[in-house]
Amino acid sequence: MGALLMTGACTQATGLAGVSAQSPSTAPVTGTPEVTATIPDVEHQSAEQPPTGGDAIKVPPPKLSKYSYTFPVKGCKTTYQRKLLVLPKTTIWAKQGCGFVAPIEGVVDEVSLQNRWNPATDAGADREGKFVTIIGDDGVRYLGGHLDSVADGVKPGARVKAGQLLGRIGRTGNARDTGPNLYFAISWKTGPAFWWVRRGMVKPWDYLDAWDSGNRTYSPREETLKLRGKLGETPGCTVQCAGRQAITPQSQPSGSSTPKPRKTRDQGDPPEVITPSIAPFGSQ
């Protein structure tokens, strides 16, 4: 027994200050770590449904001006041009008799109750046939032409509300050989002698798109005011200005084989409409 103890003491290596030179042994890891999270099975996952949201909330379009507009044709399916062809205006195609309504509250400016257009002369002032123009509360002039008829009580100086019936769509003027349509134009107030201004100065289709889609406060006032300041109130005619000179047997002198053209109304002569006194554009 004593021999064995001495042998063990002799074989044990010691380090400095009696510290063992052997590295302490690490106890082997036994068992598996405890799992605290639970993983749902597939059946449990499929049973869960995502939360359902409520109905979409419709956000109204932003208010872009203090004025309120409406599409100028009421109660009928329409199509219209969205590009510049000859004049900055548009042709709104609709069935015969559809209503042309005031696009904004304002005052009736000009009314043409007679279809004076003659294809032999094609006078510029007569091309819209029966028409109505109004000066809106925004100071802008709106024209609806090629009308079949003008509504009762619509006369120069009459106050109208947005959406009020002004006339019925037809084929008067130089639309005689086309389908019924509304000649729609945006400009500013001038005297009736300057009929080419009335026929359209501002491209209207962006405004029509907005009014038709529900943004009723998109206003042409700013664009119209800017263009009027650039061109002046009565710019000269530059597009489709001259009519034709009609030739008739009565205009041919005796003994002459060369027909003599008949003098037609000068483009500066005013059409037979009444224009009331309205505040100058931009003062509203």
**For 41-67, how does the pLDDT look when each residue is reduced to its tens digit (9 = 90+)?**
655 555 566 667 677 777 777 899 999
Global pTM reads 0.70
Distance CA 239, CA 268 (A): 14
Choose among 153, 157, 160, 113: nearest CA to 132. Answer: 113
pLDDT tier, 29 (very low <50, low <70, confident <90, very high otherwise): low
255 has pLDDT over 60: no
154 compared with 272, residue with greater pLDDT: 154
Q: For 90-107, write each residue's pLDDT tens digit.
A: 999 999 999 999 999 999
**Residue 103: per-residue pLDDT:** 98
pLDDT value, residue 56: 74
**How confident is the model over 101-154, as pLDDT tens digits?**
999 999 999 999 999 999 999 999 999 999 999 999 999 999 999 999 999 999
| Cα atoms in the 13 Å half-sphere on the side-chain side of 63 | 4
Mean of the per-residue pLDDT values of the chain:
81
Q: Is the pLDDT at 240 greater than 70, yes or no? A: yes
Q: What is the pLDDT of residue 270?
A: 43
Share of the chain above pLDDT 90, in %: 61
Domains detected in the chain: 73-235 (2.70.70.10)
Helix (H, G, I), strand (E, B) or coil at 222: helix
Nearest to 186 by CA among 104, 93, 67, 127: 104
Q: Amino acid identity of 280?
A: P
Instruction: Say yes or no to pLDDT of 2 above 70.
Output: no
Question: Confidence class of residue 191 from pLDDT cuts 50, 70 and 90?
Answer: very high
d(CA 135, CA 175): 24
Quickly state the pLDDT bin for 277 (edges 50, 70, 90): very low
Token reading at 227: 């263009």
Say if residue 33's pLDDT is above 80: no
